[in-house]
Chain A
Amino acid sequence: QVQLQESGPGLVKPSETLSLTCTVSGGSISSYYWSWIRQPPGKGLEWIGYIYYSGSTNYNPSLKSRVTISVDTSKNQFSLKLSSVTAADTAVYYCARDDLYCTNGVCYRAFDIWGQGTMVTVSS
Chain B
Amino acid sequence: EIVLTQSPGTLSLSPGERATLSCRASQSVSSSYLAWYQQKPGQAPRLLIYGASSRATGIPDRFSGSGSGTDFTLTISRLEPEDFAVYYCQQYGSSTGTFGQGTKVEIK
Contact = CB atoms under 8 A, between A and B. Distances in A.
Contacts, number: 63
A35 interface: yes
A111 interface: yes
Contacts of A109: 32-33, 35, 50, 92
Interface string A82-124: 0000000000001000000000001111111011110000000
Given A94-B44, A111-B45, A116-B44, A47 B50 contact: no
Contacts of A116: 43-44
A35 B51 contact: no
Contacts of B51: 106, 108, 110
16 contacts: A35-B97, A44-B101, A45-B37, A45-B45, A47-B99, A50-B95, A58-B95, A110-B35, A110-B47, A110-B50, A110-B51, A111-B37, A111-B45, A112-B56, A116-B44, A117-B44
Interface of B: 1, 32-33, 35, 37, 43-47, 50-51, 54, 56, 88, 90, 92, 95-102
Contact of B47 (A58, A61, A106, A112): A112
